[in-house]
Amino acid sequence: MTAYQDKAVWELCRQGFHGIAAEAEEAWSRGEGYAPREALPLARGIMELIRIANWESGARSTQAA
């Protein structure tokens, strides 16, 4: 996982979203993007971390192909 993905997981855990953090970590470890199944009360900064982490996941998948 990338530094942004690690930080996003850490921030989700810090906010008490441990299950969401585990889902995101699993998706990113598989090289996939992650989107919460339901709307979450997350700060804009955390949503931006998730967006960057998803972009990195897509960029890494493209490089591997």
Cα-based angle 44, 14, 58 (whole degrees, multiple of 5): 55
Q: Please tell me which residue, 60 or 7, carries the higher pLDDT value.
A: 7
pLDDT tens digits along 13-25? 999 999 999 999 9
pTM: 0.83
Please, are residues 26 and 5 in contact by the beta-carbon 8 Å criterion? no
CA 29 to chain centre: 10
CA distance 13 to 17: 5
Q: What are phi and psi of 32, to 5 degrees?
A: -105, 160
